[in-house]
Amino acid sequence: MSHNKITVGSQTPDSNGNVSVALNNLGDVDTTGVQANQTLIYNGSSYVAGNKEGVLGVIFLTSNNASSNYPQTLNAADNVYWYAPTPINTITGASLLDSDSLGSNWYDGVTLPAGDYIIQCSLHGDFTGSTGQCKFVLKAGSTAIGCIAESADPSNNSEYPSDASAYFSSGSSFDLTADIQTLTAANSTTTDLQAKRGYLYVWKVA
């Protein structure tokens, strides 16, 4: 019949003249190996599956200046915690961590899917005096990544507060935390400094 002589992307019309064409039926498209959150990218000769440029999702743990006392005394055996009554998480497959089951909107990290990440975080600890300091580092599982960071008492003139930051690429999912390395003069009476000033920011870039 004459309606079978016309094709679109090698697909023939049905008896009503309708043609069903999938992406892979197009001569210049190849979606082999496509994964979630990928898009079609032109490589100069055809369209292939790949990662779009730019940020693919973010996690932002912050309080937006809401008040809540730090949920436990800083301890070298613990991770840093962040207060986030309304956490932002737009990374598909990511979930928030609360390793010590503290609850009340306090989180000490995230489980992230495979990918490439830019990460930054801060700690504003409570100390008993001028010797007070806490050094911490980002960790992917048990592996330290990025630079050592520090929180210090305002009267400590020999230490300098700094945020932690890292770029990390992983082919599998992993837990991201900020591990306390050294600690001096932690105050058991905690305040809302960390709730109001602390944050964790994660950008998924590939």
Using the predicted structure, report yes or no on whether residue 1 has a pLDDT greater than 60: no
Mean pLDDT of the chain: 90
Could you tell me which residues are beta bridge partners of residue 78? none
Instruction: Check: CB of residue 59 under 8 Å from CB of residue 88.
Output: yes
Helix (H, G, I), strand (E, B) or coil at 193: helix
Over residues 114-147, the pLDDT tens digits come to: 999 999 999 999 999 999 999 999 999 999 999 9
Greatest CA span in the chain, whole angstroms?
91
pTM: 0.77
In the predicted structure, residue 9 carries a pLDDT above the cut 90 = no
Domain residue ranges of the chain, discontinuous segments joined by +: 1-51, 57-204
Say which CATH class 57-204 falls into. mainly beta
How much is the pLDDT for 99? Answer: 96
Q: What is the pLDDT of residue 17?
A: 66
Mean pLDDT of all residues in 37-41 = 75
Q: Taking CA 140 as the corner, what is the angle to CA 85 and CA 201, rounded to the nearest 5 degrees?
A: 35
Residue 41 has a pLDDT of: 78
Closest C-alpha to 176, from 185, 167, 189, 186: 167
